[in-house]
């Protein structure tokens, strides 16, 4: 059964959401799936896996989303979850500087497990932008990290401010990642993405 999850066909894209615990990865996925926002924090154990369909230039594709647990104690099992991944969405909390800093360790983990796949599509998300009074990470810090990612993954790295609470830029983030995946796969030259449940 697990073997089937690793088999990726031309219409199925496996992507991993990575970043520290509490950055809002699971809430972002729930927003994308149309489930709204849940108050409170539920720990992801290992990984959560779900699928969601999108139509890109009249082509139906399916995201297979692996929401990886951010806690350090799950690090030893995560390497198996990267198998077959075709893109990553990196998430940090705009109110917690260490979550951006720690993405450098996540970056190394990705490179170690899928480094042979570069150029490798990446989207960077600064989540919890609704907490404007608590934001402490500067644009300069974000730009510096994006430049590092461009060098390591050999591709442009879009950055979006997101809010799982309001839904701001959540769908747009997956749409942009869909663009990158199609360009990487050379299936189409994407112009518009319409998400469907």
Residues 30-42: tens digit of each pLDDT = 999 886 444 443 4
User: Once rounded to an integer, what is the mean pLDDT over residues 141-146?
Assistant: 98
Q: Which two tokens stand for residue 184?
A: 């990487």
**pTM of the full predicted structure?**
0.82
| CA 124 to chain CA centroid, nearest Å | 7
Q: Report CA-CA distances (Å) from 64 to 8, 15, 130, 161.
A: 9, 6, 27, 23
- Where is average pLDDT lowest: 16-20, 44-48, 135-139, 172-176? 44-48
pLDDT at residue number 70: 60
| pLDDT-derived band at 45, boundaries 50, 70, 90 | very low
Return d(Cα 76, Cα 30) in angstroms, integer: 26
Report the half-sphere exposure of 25 (CA within 13 A, side-chain side): 30
Per-residue pLDDT reduced to its tens digit, 78-108 = 778 888 899 999 999 999 999 999 999 999 9
User: Once rounded to an integer, what is the mean pLDDT over residues 49-66?
Assistant: 83
Return d(Cα 138, Cα 98) in angstroms, integer: 13
Burial 38-66 (b: 16+ CB within 10 A, else e): eeeeeebeebbeeebebebeeeebebbbb
Return d(Cα 159, Cα 156) in angstroms, integer: 10
Closest Cα to residue 127, out of 27, 16, 15, 14? 27
Distance, first Cα to last Cα, the chain? 24
Q: Please identify which residue in the block is written with the tokens 């999108």.
A: 54
Domains and CATH numbers, the chain: 2-195 (3.40.50.300)
């Amino acid at each position: 059964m697990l073997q089937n999850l690793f088999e990726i066909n031309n219409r199925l894209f496996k992507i991993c959401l990575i970043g520290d615990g509490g950055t809002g990865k699971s809430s972002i996925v729930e927003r994308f799936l149309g489930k709204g926002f849940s108050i409170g924090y539920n720990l992801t154990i290992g990984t959560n896996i779900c699928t969601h369909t999108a139509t890109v230039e009249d082509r139906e594709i399916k995201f297979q989303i692996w929401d990886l647990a951010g806690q350090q104690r799950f690090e030893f099992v995560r390497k198996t979850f990267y198998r077959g991944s075709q893109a990553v969405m990196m998430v940090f909390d705009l109110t917690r500087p260490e979550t951006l800093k720690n993405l450098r360790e996540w970056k190394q983990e990705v490179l170690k497990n899928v480094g042979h796949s570069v150029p490798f599509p990446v989207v960077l998300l600064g989540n919890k932008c609704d907490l404007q009074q608590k934001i402490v990470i500067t644009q300069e810090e974000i730009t510096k990290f994006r430049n590092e990612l461009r060098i390591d993954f050999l591709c442009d790295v879009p950055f979006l401010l997101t809010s799982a609470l309001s839904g701001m830029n959540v769908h747009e983030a997956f749409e942009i990642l869909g663009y990158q995946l199609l360009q990487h796969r050379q299936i189409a030259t994407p112009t518009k993405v319409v998400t469907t449940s």
